[in-house]
Structure 1
Amino acid sequence: MSNDVVMQYFEWYLPDDGQHWQRLAGDVQHLKEIGISMVWLPPAFKGTSSSDVGYGVYDLFDLGEFDQKGTIRTKYGSKEDYLNAIETLKANGISPIADVVLNHKASADSTESFTVVEVDPNDRTKILSEPFTIQGWTHFTFDGRHDIYNDFHWHWYHFTGTDFDAASSRQGIFQIQGDNKGWADSQLVDQENGNYDYLMYADLDFKHPEVIKNIDDWVEWFLDTTGIEGFRLDAVKHIDSYFMKNFIYNVKKKMGDDFYVFGEFWNGDQESNKEYLANIDYSFDLVDVKLHQNLFDASQVASAYDLRQVFEGTLVQNNPESAVTFVDNHDTQRGQALESTVAEWFKPAAYSIILLRQQGLPCVFYGDYYGISGEFAQQDFQDELDKLLYVRQYHVYGEQIDYLDAPDCIGWVNLGSEEHPDGSVVLISNDQATSKRMDLGVSNAGKTFVDIMGVSPEEVQIGEDGWAEFPVQGQSVSVWINNQTLESA
């Protein structure tokens, strides 16, 4: 078993200094030492400006190389720096994962006239107007790139919708009209708001053969240019799932099945997740939104939350082999669109839930590890996470036995394996100090366990039958491991 860990190596409020790729390259050895096996990189493509976090994608073929949108570099640096960071990660045995944003294009070079109907933002299947003409920002010519790498230019008929009429300076959701136009089939996108094909900017029409051809040309170029070893797919609930399945099939056909892919399907409903995974033939994994929501809820109400329910309805419970677990990310951090930041008091416990269990692939958020500065500041949890990552590397093996049996205190044990014989015990309280009698198996009999988190000061002697009583302080997490292995670490 390999206890892989992803790190999301960015947060929303990073400085617009063009130095992030260089900082990452300088941090790679440290990431390797703490057990990070994959790094999810922020979107590397030219956006609306140098300060664009990467999701207002303008030109997928510009990785910080051409003078476009007032900048050559992206927020994170130059193409050369990006490629160097990727090579440095790979040289140290860490897989670089590219954030791929295909749903929309932003900051077009000029407007075009075309026919639309306005739709209800709360029900995109409901038409509010007769057809009328707008001036929409849909003409992309990439003049600063001069057709290098690809000479395709985008027009209104390559999109399904847009959100601004330049002629009237009016915002709305405008569905583009014409032959074979319209939103994606409702069964192939999320059905929130009736049909959630449209999210923002100029929305790509994945039914159009020229769009599909251009994306195929781009991904071939991108893979050959960067040597990237995986994708994080942005906003897949808004993209035709039939297209996504075929797109990833072709990528893996080129790169092999070890090319790791996971998607942001932002929907906490377990049936919707199951349906989406079936629609894509389980060709890539999904982030576990429901687990994040449960962790957020638990952190907000403290002892009023029944910890026995923390895995209820989650992807890691229903489809653990397809789940990427996380505590927070760039969308849930304070000040962002999906703000639902897990409260600081519960962060260590939340991370123990994703890092110290054997189900799912855990993702550590840069903002939690290194902290966040500015208006929406947050402390860092580097010390706590280093300890949890250490335990994951060496003590999360063998049979896992759950003790999810009390509303205010849950725990589990990992018994250890032949290669990693020392097990671990995790105990979480959201109320008062308490304890739980747990079985570590006879292979751990006689060992002395200590709390690596430093919360519970006492030592616990494992009985000859493998059982022991493990304490936990109020509203905290204790992680117990063999004292001898800790001393030799």
Structure 2
Amino acid sequence: MNGVIIQYFHWYYSGSLWNEFSGQAELLKNLGFTAVWFPPATKCSLGKDGRGYDTYDPYDLGEFDQKGGIPTRYGTKEEYLAAIQKAHEAGLSVYADIVLNHRMGGDEEENITVHEVSSEDRNQVLTAPMEASAFTRFTFPGRQGKYSDFIWDHQCFSGIDIITQNGEKKEGIFKIHNEYGTDWTDAVSHQFGNYDYLMGADIEYRNPYVVQEMKNWIRWYFETTKVDGIRLDALKHISSDFLKEWITYIKTELDPDCYILGEFWKDEAEKISYFSDKMDDLISCFDAPLHYNFFEASKEGRNYDLSQILKGSFLEKKPVFSVSFVENHDTQQLQALESSVQDWFKPLAYAVILLSEDAYPCVFYPDLFGAEYTDIRDDQEINITIPKVEALPKLLEARQKLAHGEQVNYFDHPNCIAWIRKGNPDNSGCIVILSNGDEGFKEINIGQEYAHFKYRDFLEHRNEEISADENGKATFRVNPGSVSVWYSFSPETN
């Protein structure tokens, strides 16, 4: 089966996500999806205003009265578990979003020793060690020790971004002095000198008690939720030594079939590949370089060389371990990594990830359902509308019905490319053709066994029928700035 993930959320989603999904699980299955990636289900420091990435209590899935109430932004624990059950009943796998890097919203202040570092080079020390207080003690009073009595304190964290001295709050990046050292771990990205610190109270994975607690927690999470896989956030900031140990524990002790997908956000496939190799290919990774190719192609229009659309992508480098996407919650408009692919190019981008042989594609919620939201930038209210990608349901259908067999590329023109999916004994194939300029065409010899076969555009962007000659050769066309998916039917069935 040609697997497809749906990222079932976006940054500005508001509403009862778990309940909404429960009502749409069958629809998603019928559209061709095989897996759903849910946002983090854990209680946030901002309560219902959090998106799940400001993790407070990983054992609270919307069960305890903490941080302003019982539900998370997306609903209650009961609703979350019901949504997973609905997914399984529909035959969909569930990937849970897991935040390992930090905690936020500490319950109590502690007196700690810190030194400040430069935000541009975290190895550059700006101050001598100094005494301060910070919210580094997490006791979870609303949960009262249920599921775990582990208390997090400053020995569990390596850095913090807010301290108090002499009654005055200070913001910056402060390295916490604990019994595991006064330096950052070296087993992380070396961007900004050392990218161990990202936000909040940065978890100290050199602490063996923390490592054991995270093993205990993930066992509890799997037993409680019955999820089929996990998506791991912000991996370039987390100790790769810890990750390897923790993931190996999951694969050997909990679920050898657990699908693990990592966000190692780099625009260079070589660096993602290096990380993947370091993890002994235990996890897959998002293909950020391919997303940036789509972003640039959509901006440059006909000036972009379509024949290079896969160049430098993780899909090209390690296809078995890549997950391709067009947009996500970080790249959508008004977000920190904003690199939104323009609307006209999205059908072409989705054709690339949905109809290519090796891709494991992930579809973004607003591209399927549309989205409207508002945010404030520079003291101005900005309204954003993301329209549905109208061709997306047909492209999903084409993936299931037509995108089978060996792929042969015709990436031989800067404004018009095509590829064949040859099909197999049980499934027919197709010819996919894209143009980012004028109307384009490709003359392709499918093979003599297809002599006199006729072809139609599955997307119905082109209305004509195309006939192959006695040698199985035909000319396939595509509209300006568009995509067509040509499929064959034998003369006898015409």
With structure 1 as the length reference, what TM-score do the two structures score? 0.96
The residue matched to 1:330 in structure 2 has which SS? coil
- Aligned-partner Cα distance in 1 for 2:164–2:67: 19
Residue identity opposite 1:27 in structure 2? Q
Q: Does 1:394 align with 2:401?
A: yes
**Cα distance, 1:464 vs. partner?**
3.2
Corresponding position of 2:423: 416
Q: Which residue of 2 aligns with 1:431?
A: 437
User: 1:377 corresponds to which residue?
Assistant: 384
C-alpha separation in 2, matches of 1:464 and 1:170: 78
User: Counterpart of 1:180 in structure 2: which amino acid?
Assistant: Y
Contact in 1 for aligned 2:250/2:256 (Cα 8 Å): no
User: What is the rounded CA distance, in whole Å, between the counterparts of 1:444 and 1:169 in structure 2?
Assistant: 74
Q: 2:20 aligns with which of 17, 23, 44?
A: 23
Match of 2:93 among 88, 92, 95: 95
**Change in 2 beyond 3 A, CA 1:312/1:224:** same
Which sits farther off after the overlay, 440-449 or 81-90? Answer: 440-449
Contact 1:114 1:176 in 2 (8 A): yes
* Equivalence for 1:351: 350
- What amino acid sits opposite 2:107 in the alignment? D
Is contact 1:286–1:322 with CA below 8 Å preserved after alignment? yes
Q: Secondary structure at the match of 1:481?
A: strand
What's the counterpart of residue 74 of structure 2?
76
Question: Is 2:177 the partner of 1:171?
Answer: no
Distance of 1:166 and 1:359 partners within structure 2: 52
Task: Please tell me whether the aligned partners of residues 357 and 406 of structure 2 are also in contact (alpha carbons under 8 angstroms).
Answer: no
Equivalent residues in 2 for 1:270-349, closer than 5 Å: 270-349=269-348
Partner Cα separation in structure 2 for residue 4 and residue 442 of structure 1 = 31
Q: Distance in 1 between matches of 2:105 and 2:449?
A: 62
Spell out structure 1 runs of 4+ moving beyond 4 A: none
Please say if residues 421 and 431 of structure 2, whose CA atoms lie closer than 8 Å, have aligned partners that are also in contact.
Answer: yes
CA deviations over 1:66-93 (Å, ceiling 9, x no partner): 0000010011111001001111111221
Q: Secondary structure at the match of 1:64?
A: coil
Q: SS of the residue aligned with 2:385?
A: coil
2:181 paired residue number = 181
Matched position secondary structure for 1:231: strand
Matched, 1:469 2:472: no
Pick from 60, 63, 67: which aligns with 2:61?
Answer: 63
Alignment of 1:130 with 2:128, yes or no, is: yes
Q: 2:189–2:236: 8 Å Cα contact kept in structure 1?
A: yes
Match of 1:154, SS?
coil
Secondary structure of the residue that 1:383 maps to in structure 2?
Answer: coil
Task: Say yes or no: does 1:43 pair with 2:40.
Answer: yes
Given that residues 154 and 178 in structure 2 are in contact (C-alpha distance below 8 angstroms), is that contact kept between their aligned partners in structure 1? no
Aligned-pair CA distance for 1:445: 3.5
Letter in structure 2 aligned against 1:102: L
CA distance 1:182–1:288, shift in 2 (3 Å): farther
SS at match of 1:166: strand
C-alpha displacement of 1:210: 1.3
After TM superposition, the structure 1 stretch with the greater mean CA deviation from structure 2, 250-259 or 291-300, is 250-259
Per-residue displacement from partner, 1:196-226 (whole Å, max 9, x unpaired)?
A: 1110000001110111011011011111011
The letter of the residue matching 2:29 is K
Measured after TM superposition, the shift of residue 448 of structure 1 is 1.9
Contact conserved, 1:183 with 1:198, CA < 8 A, in 2? no
Structure 2: distance between partners of 1:378 and 1:347: 15
Within the alignment, does 1:215 sit opposite 2:211 as a pair? no
Counterpart residue number, 2:223: 224
How far is 1:484 from its partner? 8.2
The alignment partner of 2:124 has SS state of strand
Unmatched runs of 5 consecutive residues or more in structure 1: none
Percent identity, aligned pairs only?
40
Please give the per-residue CA displacement for 1:18-66, whole angstroms capped at 9, x wherever unaligned.
Answer: x110110110101111111110011000002112111001000000000
Partner SS state of residue 124, structure 1: coil
Question: What is the deviation of 1:382?
Answer: 5.0
Distance 1:462 1:142, change over 3 A: same
Task: Give the Cα separation in 2 of the matches to 1:464 and 1:184.
Answer: 68
When the two structures are aligned, how many residues end up with a matched partner? Answer: 482
Q: Any conservation in 1 of the 2:442–2:475 contact (CA below 8 Å)? A: yes
Offset of 1:383 from its aligned partner? 3.3
SS at match of 1:479: strand
Residue 380 of structure 1 deviates from its aligned partner by 3.3
**Distance in 2 separating the partners of 1:463 and 1:313:** 37
Instruction: Tell me how far 1:243 sits from its aligned partner.
Output: 1.0
Instruction: Find the aligned partners of 2:404 and 2:483 in 1 and give their Cα distance.
Output: 19
Post-superposition shift, 1:112?
A: 1.2
Q: What secondary structure is seen at the aligned counterpart in 2 of 1:406?
A: coil
The C-alpha deviation readout for 1:121-145, integer Å capped at 9, x for no partner, is 0111111111112221211110001
Distance in 2 of aligned mates of 1:368 and 1:453:
17
SS in 1 for 2:253: helix
Checking the alignment, whether the CA contact within 8 Å between 1:183 and 1:197 is kept in structure 2 is no
Distance in 1 (alpha carbons) for counterparts of 2:490 and 2:21? 34
- Paired residue for 2:153? 155
Question: Partner of 1:127: helix, strand, or coil?
Answer: coil
Cα distance in 1 for residues equivalent to 2:63 and 2:178: 36
Q: Distance in 1 between matches of 2:342 and 2:389?
A: 16
Q: Note if contact 2:453-2:472 (Cα within 8 Å) is conserved in structure 1.
A: no
Q: Write the distance in 2 (CA, Å) between the matches of 1:477 and 1:391.
A: 13
SS at match of 2:139: coil
d(CA) in 1 for partners of 2:490 and 2:90?
Answer: 29
Whichever residue aligns with residue 265 of structure 1, its letter is F
Equivalent residues of 1:197, 1:238 under 8 A apart = yes
Residue 407 (1) aligns with residue 407 (2): no
Residues in 2 aligned to 1:155 and 1:118: alpha-carbon distance in whole angstroms:
19
| C-alpha RMSD over aligned residues | 1.7
Give, in whole Å, the separation in 2 of the partners of 1:25 and 1:50.
20
Match of 2:463 in 1: 457
Q: Secondary structure at the match of 2:411?
A: strand
Given that 1:120 and 1:128 are in contact with CA atoms closer than 8 Å, whether structure 2 keeps it comes out as yes
Question: Post-superposition shift, 1:311?
Answer: 1.0
CA distance in 2, matches of 1:7, 1:447: 35
2:102 partner amino acid: H
Q: Letter of the 1:225 partner, please give it.
A: T
CA distance in structure 2 between the aligned counterparts of 1:470 and 1:294, rounded to whole angstroms: 25
Moved more, 239-248 or 434-443: 434-443
Q: Which moved more, 1:55-64 or 1:246-255?
A: 246-255
